[in-house]
Amino acid sequence: MTADPAAVAAAVADAHRREWAFVLAATVRVTRDIDVAEECVQEAFAAALTEWRDRGVPSRPGAWLTTVARRRALNVLRHSGVERRHLPLLVEEAVAPDPRDDGAHGYPDDRLRLVVTCCHPALDRPAQVALTLRLLCGLTTAEVARAFLVSEPTMAARITRAKKKIAVARIPYRVPPPAELPTRVDAVLAVVHLLFTTGHTTPAGEDLVRADLVERALQLCRMLRALLPGDPAVAGLLALLVLTDARRATRTGEDGRLLLLEEQDRARWDGAAIAEGVALVREALRARPPSRYALQAAIAAVHAEAPSWDATDWTEVVALYGVLAQVWPSPVVALNRAVAVGFASGPAVGLTALDALATEPQLAGYGYLPAARADLLRRLGRVAESRLAYTEALHLTDNAVERRFLAGRLAALDG
């Protein structure tokens, strides 16, 4: 039998998106070398394109791909003497049978090993992000480079250096012991969160949202949720991403104009995503103390559940920002709290809270500070000062959609 080539191509693309991390993680165990494993997995996907056309799409594509990739890996090892390399990756064999081996695949699920290795604290954040996109999401170096607006040679050098450090410094390919796991998972969550925020409002460029990055971040977070179902910080981050992304379709108007929360059509928010996010928030908030993500998600949930802008429970939002500031002290949290105070207690009180942050060195050059100030001044009728603040915010903003919004507000002041 010969399957429809278009259907086969779609099945391979789907398997690439769903199974890449699983297949690679299982193959690294055989090769003890990330580069060799990547090559073998790429070859397995290439083989799938022809073999699935001739023999049909297998019932368990991930298992088929893993078998092929691992067989190739064994061949490579046999013929090239790679096993005698002096820098094999340190694969710690599980002593007991791996409980995460669900039998459905027939291979142990090594994705947690792979992701904590990619996000090891001995690697810097840009390297962690690059490795995660490359090894967990299966993006090519060119795609990773595009996602972070750097040249391909720069990104290739970054990835090569990181892989070399893993091998030379002997970063072990293993799930850390329970005592260390929470801090290692924190690093993974920070990478996923960074991917999401970079995609949610791109720092520069024409589009407000980079849907590809948002979706990769969601996919990674769902994977972590499956691997660590009892971890409240994971539940908190997934809640935050799901609740924030539920508003994606309404964040810009048909003309590409930025729409504030106040102006968004709440009927078009994704209700199923909000229900999922709210349930996750409840679970995540049970941890003591709650994670920063759980609290950020709780704030997002207050907005998501408010039937209208006017019905927003700002007192609750201010209280949650207060707890967040204790768990995760940051001038950006203080800024957001001041904005919420401006809605809960009026713009004059909000402005006092905001102006207390004026000398915060971490907020120097942060465009949202003058933008928030401009809005409070506008609501207080202090037009000249508001105009100055909007102008300052424009100077500090590189995203085209956000710039149009600020320019529009500035023009409306004069009208």
Partner 1 sequence: MAQYMILIYEDEAQYAAATPEVYGEVLEEHNRFSAGVEGLGAKLLGGEALEPTTTATSVRGGADVTDGPFAETKEALGGYYLVDAPDLDTALAVARTVPARFGGVEVRPVMTFD
Give the contacts of 396 (CB within 8 A, at least 6 positions apart). 365, 366, 367, 370
**Interaction between residue 122 and partner 1 (CB under 8 A):** yes
The smaller minimum CB distance to partner 1, of residues 170 and 286, is found at: 170
State in angstroms the smallest separation of the CB of 76 from partner 1. Answer: 21
- Tally Cβ neighbours within 10 Å of residue 211: 12
Q: Which of 2, 79, 86, 97 binds partner 1 (CB under 8 A)?
A: 86
- Tally Cβ neighbours within 10 Å of residue 254: 5
Q: Which residue from 80, 81, 84, 91 is spatially nearest to 34, judged by alpha carbons?
A: 91
**Interaction between residue 226 and partner 1 (CB under 8 A):** no
Q: Which of 47, 82, 90, 181 binds partner 1 (CB under 8 A)?
A: 90
> Residues binding partner 1: what is the number (CB under 8 A)?
11
State in angstroms the smallest separation of the CB of 100 from partner 1. Answer: 21
**Interaction between residue 179 and partner 1 (CB under 8 A):** no
Task: Please choose, out of 1-9, 162-170, 281-289, 365-373, the segment that lies near partner 1 by the rule CB under 8 A.
Answer: 162-170
The smaller minimum CB distance to partner 1, of residues 126 and 172, is found at: 172
The pair phi, psi for residue 280, each rounded to 5°, is: -65, -40
Q: Rounded to the nearest 10 degrees, how much is the dihedral formed by the CA atoms of 227, 229, 233, 238? A: 80
**Interaction between residue 170 and partner 1 (CB under 8 A):** yes
CA distances for 32 relative to 44, 86, 137, angstroms: 18, 11, 19
**Interaction between residue 168 and partner 1 (CB under 8 A):** yes
The pair phi, psi for residue 59, each rounded to 5°, is: -70, -30
| Residues of this chain, 332-391, that bind partner 1 according to CB under 8 A | none
**Interaction between residue 124 and partner 1 (CB under 8 A):** no
**Interaction between residue 164 and partner 1 (CB under 8 A):** no
Q: Rounded to the nearest 10 degrees, how much is the dihedral formed by the CA atoms of 347, 350, 352, 356? A: -150
Residues near partner 1, by CB under 8 A = 86, 90, 120, 122, 168-172, 176, 180
